[in-house]
């Protein structure tokens, strides 16, 4: 499971950070992070940095478990996974839900980390660094818009021509996101600039659905999803945008306990240059109308 809590007994006194370093085989900096997050406890009370410990203590830590997901592309610096829908990229709190981090760290070690994010509901390509020393450089490619990303989406209704959706987005802050429906972003003139290009590829008249190529120019949270819903063409399987508040609330309350329909949004390709090598990586999966039940 992603996070486990294990009880230990110490017969002699030891500094808390030294104990964590020995048990987890981590650096002092990482041990201090565990203490900052109150993961070491005695009698249900958190142990602080300067404390020494003796007797019974409990330590909560991330223990990756392989999901048997194979990366589709491997280099000495990074790997690319084709994430299935309804899978977290990072562990969410201490809940016992698997994430892509489980697979990445189980296979490549504790210094391997995802470089960017995809929504839980979104499938497709995601990059992970194999070692911490490559992480900042790779993240810089995304932050500096050096990576060209394309998505595929299937939306409700007919979209006949290419469009640029230019609607600013307000992203929830650390306080509001824990309120009722607070996880949802909003279109607002007070939001940050957000641009999405969409190109219709195919229209299925029987199902009244359009297959799109989507290029996000900016990278706001839920950007593609809220933009398409706002122009009246929500993505098939969308549980948050373009639906009633009641339906959105029901989805969030049961997100991890029920089998939800897949969101028809897929990260299709990544194009970039790294260490003087050009990469053009495409997903092995494609969205198609016959797989969709309306």
Q: Which residues are catalytic?
A: 119
| 3-class state of residue 168 by DSSP | coil
Contacts (Cβ under 8 Å, ≥6 apart) of 139: 115, 116
Spatial contact of 263 and 121, defined as CB atoms under 8 Å apart: yes
Q: Which residue has the tokens 């607070």?
A: 182
Distance of CA 287 to the CA centre of its chain: 20
Q: What is the end-to-end Cα distance of the chain in Å, rounded?
A: 35
Contacts (Cβ under 8 Å, ≥6 apart) of 148: 215, 269, 270, 271, 272
Spatial contact of 263 and 238, defined as CB atoms under 8 Å apart: yes
Q: Under the phi-then-psi rule, with left for phi > 0, alpha for psi from -120 to 50, and beta for the rest, what region is 23?
A: alpha
């Amino acid at each position: 499971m992603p996070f486990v809590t294990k009880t230990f007994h110490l017969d002699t006194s030891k500094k808390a950070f030294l104990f964590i370093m020995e048990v987890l085989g981590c650096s002092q900096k990482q041990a201090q992070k565990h203490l900052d997050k109150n993961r070491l406890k005695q009698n249900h009370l958190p142990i602080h940095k300067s404390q020494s410990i003796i007797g019974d203590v409990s330590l909560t830590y991330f223990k990756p478990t392989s999901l048997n997901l194979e990366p589709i592309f491997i280099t000495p610096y990074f790997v690319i996974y084709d994430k299935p829908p309804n899978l977290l990229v990072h562990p969410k709190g201490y809940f016992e839900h698997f994430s892509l981090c489980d697979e990445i760290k189980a296979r490549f070690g504790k210094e391997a980390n995802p470089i960017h994010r995809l929504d839980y509901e979104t499938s497709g390509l995601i990059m992970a660094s194999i070692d911490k020393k490559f992480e900042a450089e790779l993240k810089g490619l995304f932050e500096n818009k050096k990576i060209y990303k394309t998505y595929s989406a299937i939306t409700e209704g007919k979209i006949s021509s290419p469009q640029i959706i230019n609607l600013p987005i307000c992203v929830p802050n650390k306080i509001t996101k824990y309120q009722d429906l607070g996880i949802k972003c909003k279109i607002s003139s007070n939001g940050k600039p957000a641009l999405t290009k969409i190109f219709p590829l195919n229209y299925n008249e029987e199902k009244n659905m359009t297959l799109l190529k989507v290029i996000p120019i900016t990278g706001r949270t839920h950007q593609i999803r809220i933009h398409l819903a706002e122009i009246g063409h929500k993505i098939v399987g969308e549980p948050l945008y373009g639906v009633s508040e009641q339906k959105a609330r029901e989805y969030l309350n049961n997100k991890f306990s029920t089998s939800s329909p897949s969101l028809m949004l897929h990260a299709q390709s990544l194009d970039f240059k790294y260490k003087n090598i050009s990469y053009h990586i495409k997903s092995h999966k494609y969205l198609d109308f016959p797989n969709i039940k309306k």
